[in-house]
Amino acid sequence: MLSHLRAELVLAARILMRQPGFWVPTILFPAMLYSFFGASMAEGPAGIYALASFAVYAVVGVGFYQFGVSVAQDRETPFVLWQRSLPGAQWVGWAARIVVAMVVVLAAVGMVLLAGRWIGGVIPGRGETMRLLVACALVSVPSVLMGIALGSAVSARAAVPLSNLLFLPLAYLGGLWMPPALLPDSVAAISVWTPTRAMGEIAWAAIDGRAMPGRYLALLAGWTLLAIALTALAQARHRRAMFG
């Protein structure tokens, strides 16, 4: 089992790290956006909330792009079929990919924190940083599951544009690019039902050291269950098509 996990980790890391065109933007883009917009929009005490928002934005990006796109691409390649013929449980490969994704999440969130320090002048305390990292780890689970649902449901060709189509509006609607209080009323009414808003609320509560907001935890659990159900349906459809 350990040698299998190690082999899957090495394979997943090599495949990802040898595509700098994929992981460099994933890691740098949230920090860049924060530097261009987040740092200037929320100065003073609000700055730390903006930092948390863009950290969540980085996490959701990994879920949508690293999983959404790669799951769709993998599904259409004979390599996955060959892997299924090898000994060892299939979930080990998924576990390895999630571990590698966590490393990318950590790097992307780390870059946002560095941008906060150097550009925004926002330096969260050790406790705030740790709580934010825990919140990011927590919201990475639904992010990854939503990415897998997306990748399972659509073709490889459709995955990238659809990820963009969902990810960017969801980031805006969820109040990750600007504080929810500044959103227009009509957008704010939608915002409270989006998974990104729930993720943001969890991160903001973590920064404050408040209890996780129950309403948003429940909302996020609902989105997560929806993603799992969509994945199950899509995978069943795929198995029927591929394997009869």
Partner 1 sequence: MLQAIEARGLAKRFGAVTAVEGVDLTLAPGEALGLLGPNGAGKSTLLSLVTGLRPADRGEIRIFGHPAGSEAARKSMGLTPQSAAFPPQITPRELIAYASARHGKRPDTDRLLTAFGLQRLIDRRMAGFSGGEVRRVALALAFCGAPRLAVVDEPTTGLDAATQEAFQSLARDYVASGGAMLLTSHHWDEIEAICDRLTMIDRGQRVLDGTLAEMRATMRINRISLVVDGAAPDWLPAPDTDGRRHLESADSDAVVTRLVREGVGFRDLLIHPLALKDILAHLRHEV
The answer to whether 4 contacts partner 1 (rule: CB under 8 A) is yes
C-alpha radius of gyration, the chain, whole number = 18
**Using CA atoms, how far apart are residues 95 and 162, in angstroms rounded to an integer?**
25
**Using CA atoms, how far apart are residues 100 and 132, in angstroms rounded to an integer?**
20
The answer to whether 157 contacts partner 1 (rule: CB under 8 A) is no
**CB of residue 131 to partner 1, shortest distance in Å:** 36
| Residue count, binding to partner 1 (CB under 8 A) | 23
Question: Which one, 15 or 217, has the nearer CB to partner 1?
Answer: 15
The answer to whether 91 contacts partner 1 (rule: CB under 8 A) is no
Find the part of the chain contacting partner 1 (CB under 8 A) among 13-21, 164-172, 174-182, 211-219: 13-21
**CB of residue 109 to partner 1, shortest distance in Å:** 25
Tokens of 107: 């790097």
Measure the N-to-C terminal CA separation of the chain; round to a whole number of Å.
30
Taking residues 19 to 58 in sequence order and writing x for each that binds partner 1 by CB under 8 A, - otherwise, the string is: x---------------------------------------
The answer to whether 238 contacts partner 1 (rule: CB under 8 A) is no
Question: Which one, 22 or 172, has the nearer CB to partner 1?
Answer: 22
Q: Alpha carbon of 232 to those of 41, 109, 154: distances in Å? A: 41, 30, 13
Nearest in space to 52 (alpha carbons), one of 145, 182, 81, 60: 60
DSSP 28-68: HHHHHHIIIIIHHHS-GGGHHHHHHHHHHHHHHHIIIIIII
Question: Which one, 79 or 91, has the nearer CB to partner 1?
Answer: 79
**CB of residue 127 to partner 1, shortest distance in Å:** 40
**CB of residue 11 to partner 1, shortest distance in Å:** 5
| Residues sharing a CB contact under 8 Å with residue 10, sequence separation 6 or more, in sequence order | none
**CB of residue 17 to partner 1, shortest distance in Å:** 8
The half-sphere exposure of 16 on its side-chain side, counting CA atoms within 13 A, is 27
**Using CA atoms, how far apart are residues 197 and 192, in angstroms rounded to an integer?**
6
The answer to whether 3 contacts partner 1 (rule: CB under 8 A) is yes
Question: Which one, 18 or 126, has the nearer CB to partner 1?
Answer: 18
Residues lying near partner 1 in the complex (CB under 8 A): 3-4, 6-7, 10-11, 14-15, 18-19, 77-79, 81-82, 84-88, 242-244
